[in-house]
Structure 1
Amino acid sequence: MPFITEEIYAQLIERNLVEEVDTLQKTSWPQVREDRIDPAAEASMSQVMEVIRVVRNIRSELNVPPAKKAEKLVIQATNQSFETLFACRSYIAALAKVEEVNVVATEEQVVKQAASGMAGENKIFLPLAGMLDLNKEIERLGKEKANLAGESKRLEGQLQNEQFVSKAPVAVVDKLKARQKEVENQLTAVSAQIESLK
């Protein structure tokens, strides 16, 4: 809506935030004003965005429907980020789809049966009760763990086969080694998820 944009620009002119012109259509693209850059605000928002990203990743990994709100989120914050995260609880709650956000300085409020992650140096705990059937999720993760263990064993067998390693191209062997490392990392992550749900 051009007339709305013109009105907003007029308000910016009144506040001396942009140069004065007859009409917005004739202006050049605004240049960055160094005096308007706030590194502290950028760092604070970066922390908030990282917390939201971690919560969304946890929800995605556990196949929690995006529309389903979690009851609670516990953030064990470092001294440097406590104030920022505490002040931005409402933003985190809205963007991470959480009813309540608790920012704590110690582990005393950490709950059982919670998925966890790290957002920088801050620990994130997302209690899973009510969000998904824990027994079904543990069963699903158990099957995934068994599949990964089988694949890891198969890859290990291939890599320990002297004839295969000596005859196969170096690129193929390197690819198998990389895949084995990836599978081992996934196996570790799935095992940690199972433990966090118990």
Structure 2
Amino acid sequence: MLSTGYDILFFWVARMMMFGLHGMRDRGAEESVPFQHIYLHGLIRDQYGKKMSKSKGNVLDPIDWMDNYGADATRFTLARGANPGTDMALAEDWAAGSRNFCTKLWNAARFAILNGATTARPLPAVEDMTEADRWILGRLGTVLSEVDELLEEFQFAKATNTLYHFTWGELCDWYIELAKVQLAGEKADDARAVLGHALDTVLRLLHPFVPFVTERLWTTLTGGTSLVVADWPTGELLPAADPAAEGRIEDVQKLVTEVRRFRSDQGLKPGQKVVTRLTGPGFEAVAAHEEAVRSLAKLTEPGDEFTATASIEVALADGTVAVEVDTSGTIDVGAERKRLEKDLAAAEKELKQTDGKLGNQAFLDKAPADVVDKIRVRRDTAAADIERITARLDSLPDS
């Protein structure tokens, strides 16, 4: 396989092929060609899509990036933009995001290792796993298959993005948080085994893209000699995807996400705990995860004299969950009213601007359809924000 830029396809690649066919013509068709596959990558351009030039002063020095963001972050950034035949507009924001990813991976693995994550203990039997365990291992098996297929097709950017979103969005942000509850209970050893095997597989998959961080973490986790010579994961030990477990965990994620948004609307700080009552048929379906939901959303259980000051309903697969909170004494009503009034003014301004553009026929005739659609979305969002903020202001007690 030859890896090269498309700009020298006829200057170099075609000549290599012709010279091979000519000089090795007595070897037969298979042996006379110098390569069987050609991977044509795009050119690296600056953040505005301009070709890099010393005279323009828009050249990015990879050594500077390695000094500022690390070699792994630089490599990961280049891999995330490596779409076949497509130029890459490169900006430092990308490298900063890759550095954040490496830091996220490091912190998550460090937490897991410090809490006993191991590959020495075999995975528990499927019937003994929690729904969170079956969910993450099933998703990991799916991701492993997707990455294998993408690498076979030289889709390095898609493979990297698949690993990025799974590692950050599912393993770190959700499973490790759910596992914290298991680590404090009877399923602690099972959680340590699942965490260890999941991390082992993820580190192997990420190694071609993030070699140094994964090497250090993997050798610490497994005690192995080097990840460089470790086997590529096959997923043979991973259980099959469990649609029921995936659906349940998706419901938990939706419930926690909506409660967090609701808390923000109530003016509660992210780490501030609030007394909350959870009821309804939807909640009964995810009741086994109540401890995790309360931990993730910073909710405490209500006492006998609970009084709800605000509530929402969250629609899940098996019904709705009624979320009632008591915010009395937890927020500064005056400060919250000022914040909401400021947000309302911004939303009203946005609505006025978008209405003005959508009411201008000359603009609608000239503007591309996608631009008009985006303005309509902005207008609808502003209108929804006004309705939500107004309702919240009306619900606040007099300061």
TM-score by length of 2: 0.36
After superposition, the Cα gap between the structure-2 partners of 1:129 and 1:155, relative to the gap in structure 1 and judged at 3 Å, is same
- Runs of 4+, deviation exceeding 6 Å: 23-27
| Alpha-carbon RMSD | 3.8
TM-score by length of 1: 0.65
Which protein has the bigger strand share? 1
Give the superposition deviation at 1:153. 2.4
Which residue of 1 is the match for residue 289 of structure 2?
Answer: 88
Give the superposition deviation at 1:60. 3.6
Give the superposition deviation at 1:180. 1.6
After superposition, the Cα gap between the structure-2 partners of 1:154 and 1:84, relative to the gap in structure 1 and judged at 3 Å, is closer
Query: Rg bigger for which structure?
Result: 2
Which residue of 1 is the match for residue 375 of structure 2?
Answer: 176
Asked if structure 2 preserves the Cα contact closer than 8 Å seen for 1:115 and 1:197, the reply is no
Gaps of 5+ in 2: 1-112, 130-221, 225-229
2:340 is the counterpart of 1:141: yes
Q: How does 1:22-171 map to 2 (within 5 A)?
A: 29-31=234-236, 32-34=238-240, 39-70=243-274, 72-78=275-281, 81-82=283-284, 84-85=286-287, 87-100=288-301, 111-112=308-309, 114=310, 116-120=312-316, 121-166=320-365, 168-171=366-369
Separation (CA, whole Å) in 2 of partners of 1:4 and 1:188: 47
Q: Could you give the per-residue CA deviations for residues 48-104 of structure 1, whole angstroms, max 9, x where no partner exists? A: 33222222222344553222211x1122312x542532x4332222221122169xx
Give the superposition deviation at 1:47. 2.8
The number of residue pairs the alignment matches comes to 175
After superposition, the Cα gap between the structure-2 partners of 1:118 and 1:7, relative to the gap in structure 1 and judged at 3 Å, is same
Paired-residue identity, %: 25
Asked if structure 2 preserves the Cα contact closer than 8 Å seen for 1:128 and 1:134, the reply is no
Separation (CA, whole Å) in 2 of partners of 1:59 and 1:187: 18
After superposition, the Cα gap between the structure-2 partners of 1:93 and 1:182, relative to the gap in structure 1 and judged at 3 Å, is closer
Asked if structure 2 preserves the Cα contact closer than 8 Å seen for 1:74 and 1:110, the reply is no
After superposition, the Cα gap between the structure-2 partners of 1:39 and 1:134, relative to the gap in structure 1 and judged at 3 Å, is same
Separation (CA, whole Å) in 2 of partners of 1:101 and 1:49: 22
Gaps of 5+ in 1: 18-22, 103-108
Give the superposition deviation at 1:24. 9.9
